[in-house]
Structures are given as C-alpha cells and as structure tokens.
C-alpha cells in the first residue's frame, strides 16, 4: 500500500512539473509575441531617460574557450558577451509565474550593436545554435555569441630566454559611430572580468598569465567610432622548456656521434649510437603538433635531426668503405707440445681498402671527426683509434 501511494505521489509531482513547464513556455511565447509585434530591429533603441548623451552603452565581456597556436597567428575560440538597454523590450509578468527572463527564439530578430573584431579575421560566426539572446523584464538584453578568430601574436621582450606571447583583441561597431554606441568592458571582480579563460588555458605548455583591458577611439574617414581592446598574455616556464625538449635533443645529438669513440669490433653499440637518436628525433619532429613548438624550437629540432641523419649515413659509409685487415700466422714448433698457446710467426698481412683512402685506419671516421670538431664543438677531444676489423688466419 505504501509503495502504491509513493508511486502515485511521484506521478503527481511529475505531472505538476510538466504542467508548470508547459504553462511557462506558453507565457513566454505570449510575451515574445507582444513585445515584438510592433518592434523594428533596424532602428536603434531610444535614448534612456535623463541620459547625458544619446549613445547606447554596450557592456562587453569575452570568455576564451580554446586557443590553438600556429606559426605567427593563433586560432582563438571565444564567446562574445554583450549587454545593453532597449526600453522597447520591457514587459510585465506575474511574479508567481517565476519568469525572470525570456530567451528569444532563433528566428526572431532584435536590434544589435553590430560588433566586429578589428584586430583579427573572423573564421566563423555561425548564428545557428551558437547565439543566445535573453531579455529581462526591464528591457535589459544579454547576448552571447560563439566566434572563431584568427589573431596575430607577438613574443615577449625576453624571448627566447622566456617563452611569452601576447594577443590583442580589439572590437568596435561596424555601422554605428561614437554618437550612437559606446563600448565599455564589464569589470566587477571577482565575479565578472573583462577577459575570462577556461580551465584548459590555465594548465599546459602555454598558460594564461594576465590580461589588460582598455578603451580606444577608431578614427576613420567615414567618422569616429568607439572601440575597446585587451592585451592577453600567455607564458611558459623556461626551465620546463629546457627539460622537456632542449636537453633531451642535445643528449640525443651527442649520443648519435658516440660511435666515433667505440671500437670498430663493437658493432651493436655502434649501430645503436648511430640509428636510435636519428629515428627518435625524426619521429618526434614529424608527428608532434604544430602548436606545441615555436619557430626557434622547430629550427633547433630540425638541425638536430639533420646532424643525426648525417651520423647515420656516415656510419653506413664507414661499413661499406672501411679497411679490412687479414693476418696470416704460422705456428712455430709442434702444436702437440703447446696445444693452447703455441708460438706463432706472422707470415702475411693483407689490407682490403675498399673505398677508404687511408691504409691502416678508417679514413672517413677521421674526416668526419675533424668536421665535427671544427663546426659543432670548440672543445678539442682526442679521437681514439677506430681500428678496422681484423681477420686472423692461423696455419
């Protein structure tokens, strides 16, 4: 019995909520139809009562959702939020209805300040499912629109010692001059700031540092326009950059040339030293994202990849063209008397030079080592003799 009463109560609550929601939607539809019945979206809102000037005040706030770094420009995904007063949209509603604001349908148009970004290029501004217009009973309009921008950026004054970048966001009205529209940044910290960012931009390689907002005036041949701008700064830790890419790439570069000092008979270590660093750097350079490195980092990684490739090529050239020495021995005395260590006499030494121009040494190794010492490092190192492999033939 109790279970049945509980089920009936739940059904009653759900039905009441559905009825309330349906009645609210009907009321909102009636309000929208009433306030827009004689509304002209092409006409600017009237001047506010007791206003000092005739300009409409547009309060603006920007939320940066996502940012992708490219060479010399950044792809910025943001939300443009604007607020202004339009007394023609005032409406009365019973407080018992619980309606504090109404959302305008996508197919209903109202006057807007026609804001555009002057500091960059708009890649997309789709009004479908990306723009929200909300009207309060006082006629106060709140607009939120998602826009994808392409903005240039500049490096900080301490680059490349510190990796900091700056983008400038500047906006104004396309059709209305300073006598019709004045822009202001929304600034009521800590709840509302001119520039806000998502949590993803607070962590990662390049993180949001600060933003400075101000106003400006656009002087054009057709008139004077109000505008506002903001400088947004992003920075990365210098130490983390060195530890994440510079030092590892430097160690791989040095390791790729270690086969200079490894004896020629140790083929496996020599192969690892020549091949592994090149494949690691090549894979990282090819598959890493474009926004994960700067031009200086890309140039350095490309330089390391080229040097490790030259080391790889040099190793195979040495194998193909290196010298080969054959020594023929003759055992002195009876081998039965000295089965483990019979005395031997060298009777023939033969050299198969291949491509090498040196007789008893690996000439290509010496040439490459000289180039390495002169162009890459000023430190004079002693080149250990990379002796060619020896074949011992005993008679």
Last residue of a domain, one of 236, 267, 295: 236
pLDDT above 70: residue 166: yes
How far are the Cα atoms of 84, 241, 381 from residue 90, in angstroms, in the given order?
13, 55, 85
Last residue of a domain, one of 190, 217, 236: 236
Please report, for the domain that includes residue 210, its CATH number.
2.70.170.10
More confident residue, 214 or 312: 214
pLDDT above 60: residue 232: yes
Q: Are residues 332 and 375 in the same domain?
A: yes
Split into its structural domains, the chain has a count of 2
Q: Are residues 183 and 268 in the same domain?
A: no
Specify if 3 maps to a domain: no
Last residue of a domain, one of 189, 206, 236: 236
Q: Are residues 81 and 220 in the same domain?
A: yes
The parent domain of residue 108 ranges over 11-236
pTM: 0.61
Q: Are residues 218 and 324 in the same domain?
A: no
As a dihedral over the C-alpha atoms of residue 176, residue 178, residue 181, residue 182, rounded to 10 degrees, the angle is 150
Q: So what's the pLDDT on residue 183? A: 94
Q: Are residues 200 and 160 in the same domain?
A: yes
DSSP string, 314-343: HHHHHHHH--EEEEEEEE-S-TTT-TTT--
Query: What tokens does 219 get?
Result: 């002087």
Q: Are residues 268 and 203 in the same domain?
A: no
Q: Are residues 163 and 47 in the same domain?
A: yes
Q: Which positions ≥6 away from 284 have C-beta within 8 Å? A: 301
Name the pLDDT band for 382 (thresholds 50, 70, 90).
Answer: very low
Q: Are residues 96 and 206 in the same domain?
A: yes
Exposure string of 270-300, with b = 16+ CB inside 10 Å and e = fewer, is bbebbbebbebbbebeeeeeeeebbeebeeb
Q: What is the pLDDT of residues 101-149, one digit of tens each?
A: 888 888 889 999 999 999 988 888 765 557 899 999 889 999 999 999 9
More confident residue, 148 or 96: 148
Q: Are residues 220 and 281 in the same domain?
A: no
């Amino acid at each position: 019995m109790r279970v049945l009463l509980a089920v009936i109560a739940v059904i009653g609550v759900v039905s009441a909520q559905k009825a309330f929601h349906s009645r609210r939607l009907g009321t909102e539809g009636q309000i929208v139809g009433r306030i827009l019945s004689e509304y002209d979206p092409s006409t600017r809102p009237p001047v506010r009562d007791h206003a000092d000037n005739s300009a409409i005040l547009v309060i603006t706030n920007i939320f940066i959702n996502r940012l992708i770094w490219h060479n010399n420009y950044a792809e910025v995904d943001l939300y443009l939020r604007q607020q202004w007063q339009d007394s023609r949209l005032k409406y009365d509603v019973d407080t018992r209805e619980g309606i504090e604001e109404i959302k305008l349908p996508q197919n209903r148009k109202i006057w807007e300040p026609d804001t555009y970004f002057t500091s960059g290029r708009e890649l997309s501004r789709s009004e479908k499912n990306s723009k929200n217009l909300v009207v309060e009973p006082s006629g106060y309009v709140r607009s939120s629109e998602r826009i994808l921008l392409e903005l240039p950026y500049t490096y900080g004054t301490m680059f490349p010692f510190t990796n900091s970048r700056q983008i400038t966001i500047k906006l104004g009205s396309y059709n209305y001059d300073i006598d019709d529209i004045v822009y202001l940044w929304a600034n009521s910290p800590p709840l509302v700031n001119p520039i806000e960012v998502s949590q993803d931009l607070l962590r990662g390689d390049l993180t949001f540092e600060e933003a400075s907002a101000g106003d400006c005036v656009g002087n054009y041949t057709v008139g004077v326009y109000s505008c506002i701008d903001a400088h947004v700064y992003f920075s990365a830790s210098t130490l983390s950059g060195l530890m994440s890419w510079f030092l590892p790439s430097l160690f791989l570069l040095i390791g790729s040339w270690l086969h200079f000092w490894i004896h020629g008979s140790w083929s496996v270590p020599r192969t690892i030293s020549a091949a592994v660093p090149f494949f690691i750097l090549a894979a990282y350079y090819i598959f890493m994202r474009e926004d994960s490195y700067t031009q200086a980092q890309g140039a350095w990684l490309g330089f390391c990849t080229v040097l490790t490739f030259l080391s790889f090529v040099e190793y195979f050239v040495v194998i193909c063209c290196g010298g080969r020495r054959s020594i023929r021995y003759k055992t002195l005395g009876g081998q039965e008397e000295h089965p483990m260590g019979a005395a031997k006499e060298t009777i023939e030494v033969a050299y198969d030079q291949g491509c090498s121009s040196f007789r008893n040494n690996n000439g290509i190794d010496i040439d490459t080592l000289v180039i390495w010492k002169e162009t890459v490092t000023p430190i004079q190192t002693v080149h250990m003799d990379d002796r060619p492999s020896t074949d011992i033939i005993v008679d």
